Every structure is written in C-alpha cells, then in structure tokens.
Chain A
Amino acid sequence: MRRVPAPLIALAGLGLLFFLLPLAGLILRAPWDQAAAGITAPETATALELSLFCSLAATAIALVLGIPLALVLSRMTGKPRKVLRALTTLPMVLPPVVGGVALWLAFGRRGLVGSFLYQAFGLQITFTTAAAVMAETFVAMPFLVIAVEGGIRSLDPRYEEAARALGAGGWMVFARVTLPLLRPAIFSGAVLCWARALGEFGATITFAGNFPGRTQTVPVAVYVALETRPDAAIVLSLILLAVSLAILVGMRDRWLGAL
C-alpha cells in the first residue's frame, strides 16, 4: 500500500473490523444444520420473493421520479434549491418508523390524500403490497436523487451545449446526451437505492403492517421470527445477505464500466 500513512491504515483496519465482525458472527454462529430446512421452507421463499419484488418496484419508481427530480434540482439556484434539497434528503435522516407514521398521515384512511381516495373510491392503501413499495420508495429514493444530482453537476456542460448548437431540442438533449453520460451515476444511485429498499423495516411495518405473502418482507419476517424462532430468523438473515451479495457482485462489472 504505497503512500498511505500507517495511522490511516490502522484506522481503516478498525473500520473494516467493525463491519466484518457482525457479519462473521452471523455466519459463524448460524445453525447450518437447519439452514437447508430454512431455505426450502415456503415462508422463506414467499418473504424473499416479496422483498425482491418490492425493492425492485421501489427502485423503478425512484428512477422514473428521481432522475427528473435530480435534473430539476441541479438547474435550480439559491434559496429554492436549498429548500428542495433539504426536503428530498429528509427521508434519509428521518427515523424509518417516523417515516411510516408520516406515510399513514398522508395516505392512511384518514390521511391527507388517503381520506379522499377512501371516500371516493373505497381504496385503502395501508396493509397492501403497494404500501410496502411506497414505504421503501420513501426511504430509498433520496439516495438515487443525491447520486444522480452529483453526477449531473460534474458533467461538462459543453456536451449539452454542443448538442443544442447542432439543433437538438430539450428532450433530445436529455435522452441522447445527458442521460447516457449519466449512466455511471444513475447506476450507482440505483444500486444504493435498491439496497436500502431491500433492508427497509421500520416504515414498512408501521405503514404496511405484517402479513405473509402480502407485506411480510424479509426484514419483517426476521423480526417476527426472532422472538419465537431465533434460528429461523438467523437463517433468513443469511439468505438475504447471500442474495444481496450475489446481485451486487454479479451486476458490478457488466454495468459499471467506464462509458
């Protein structure tokens, strides 16, 4: 390791240890003899499927809404920009359970928007899979917005100017120049967003509740299992860890290369 001062290496080592020890604990203390039973149990598959579906849906929504939001944010200046920035990053600092409470205050049966939906269409959002997706989107989207906004601001503005000078209008500039050049930032933002959505618990259980197959994502299932069947909970945690790791490692090279 050239040129890294020894004290920094020591601190880095401590940091690494801090991450690795809990993971090591999980792996080493796992009841591997029960692992096979745990993996094939139907509840496991259900929770895993639901988690993957919800987290991917949340990421998709975050991409569709978050990229334009990042674009708007990057073009603003001054006070309005500071305010908007603070609002979009608020879910990152808010305790997830508080986020869940805020969601039902807005979308619950007596909520701001929810009450209208309920009275006009008889639609209740809480306790549905959609609610789980919304909870995950709420906490995870800011990660995408921040990553993409950073990408936009580090983009050479002259590419867009060159495109405009060649006659390309707003949409063509965005679709054929800005967006492709933002690919690395979008990808890393999406991965962060997806990972956060996958692990979301507090907002999900508060706003969407807990029901196997509908709202019981893996983190919720782990929590429920922890008190009565801790071994099952550990196995479930390991499975989630393995799946996340596999996807993160598998995707990396293919998509994250230089342009």
Chain B
Amino acid sequence: MSLKARVKIIRAGFELDVLLDVDDGETVAVLGPNGAGKTTLLRALAGLASMDGRVELDGEVLEDSAQGLYVPTERRQIGLVFQDHVLFPHLTVLDNVAFGLQAQGRGDARQVARRWLERNVPRGARLAEEVKTAPLARSHFRSTHRYSLATRRTLDQYRENGYGYLVANRSVRLAYTREAHRYGAEVSFYRDLDRRGCLLFRFRPSEHRAGPVIEIWALDRGTHVCQPPNRRVPRHRFRPSVGSRVPPDDVGAEELP
C-alpha cells in the first residue's frame, strides 16, 4: 500500500507545503520543532483539515482539491492516533477498544476487543473487571497506558479491517516500539532533545521483518528539509527527499531497543 500526497495549507502566519511519497512497506518519521506543521500534516491526511492538494492511498484518490474530490474521514482507511490519546472518557476500556470495530459494523466487536485486551494488556496495567466496566473518566487507568490503549484502539482497527495507514502523532520518545515490532515494523528514532516527531507507520505483518526502509524527514516551518545520514543508526537507509535546505546539525540520534 502506498501513500502519495501533496498537502498545501496556507493560513495566516503559517504555510505548509509537503510532498509525500511513501512506498509499500516504508515507514516515515517526521520530526520538527513545535509549529512546524507535523500535526497539521497528519490531520490533513486523515481528512480533518481543509487543504489544497491531493491524497492518494494505494491508487485510490481520497482527496483532490483541484477536482473537488473529498472522501470523508470515516471512509478513509487511515487510522489516527492523537497526540493526547483522546480516548472516550464516557466509555469503558472495552468499549473504547471495540468502538472502531463497531463502527465497521462488526457484530462481535466486543468479543474481539475483549480477547485482545486479555492477550495484549499494556505492560504494567492491571485490567481488573472494574476497569473494564467503569467509564474511562472514572477509572484509574494510568495515563501512560492510555496512550497504548489509544494505539491499540486504532491498531486493532487496522488489523481487522485492513486499514492502510496508521498515523500516530506522538512524541517519538514514547512510541511503543515493542508494539511496532510485534506488527512487523521496526522503527528507530532520532531522539531529539527538544524536538518531537510524529510517525507514519505502515504495517505488513508477514513481510519486512528484517527491517523496513525508513525515511526520516524533518519538517521545519512547513516544508520538509533534508536529513543527513547518521552513522549511529545503521538500520536505516536514507534517500534524499525533496527540498533543498540543510537542517541544523544539532540533531542527536540514538538507537532504541
């Protein structure tokens, strides 16, 4: 599944102009300082921001402003994990996980969700019955686990319904690499002391266990800039991306387990 997009948004004091070309099996991490446009980019891909441009998922055009084409968010096969997880506070843990499946009309949504919860409890979280039945707002579900729950909510969605892309808007540091590994994607990140990034994952469970090609971009003030290769991260191959400005070189890198 490929994702090709041209996103252009012009607002007062802000301009975003990105060309995205992610091939089958690739993973792209987008880094950048606050206000660079990462969140806006992801929202635009999911259909939540008005923009000029075009989004094409695996050959199917999801949006094309030149032709006035727009597929609503709920019909795009793009899952979105929000920066603050945005779990439904009035639903239980179970209902949260089952929500996406129910939206797709699955009659056994709750059973499926229950099975996954039992198998894949986020590390350290006790899912007592009480937590499963009480609305999230009143439960003691820890905030770190809420993020993983949100990821799970969307991951399961992906898994069962063949979603094309998972778009996770999260601090690169805290992303669950174990989860990613389980699904066959390997991700390493550039850890940046004061920069946060977002990730575009593409999962294909059976293949690519050896490690996908990951392209890392830096997004700065609305345009992506070139990221120089770094010796300390051998598992990645880089291709120069479109753009001409050389980024500042105070970017550190670290391999995460």
Contacts and interface: CB of A to CB of B under 8 A. Distances in A.
Interface of A: 156, 158-159, 161-169, 172-173, 176-177, 180-181, 183, 258-259
Given A258-B137, A259-B89, A259-B137, A168 B82 contact: no
A162 B103 contact: no
Contacts of B91: 176
Interface string B50-83: 0000000000000000000000111100111010
Contact of A166 (B48, B103, B135): B103
Contacts, number: 70
B157 A166 contact: yes
A164 B73 contact: yes
B34 interface: no
A161 B74 contact: no
B151 interface: no
B12 to A, nearest CB: 17
A89 to B, nearest CB: 29
Contacts of A163: 88, 99, 103
Contact of A164 (B74, B87, B137): B74
Interface string B135-167: 101100000000000000110010001000000
A231 B147 CA distance: 66
A165 B90 contact: no
A164 B47 CA distance: 10
Contacts of B102: 172
A172 B138 CA distance: 23
A178 to B, nearest CB: 11
Contacts of A180: 90
Interface centre among A158, A166, A177, A183 (most CB of B within 10 A): A166
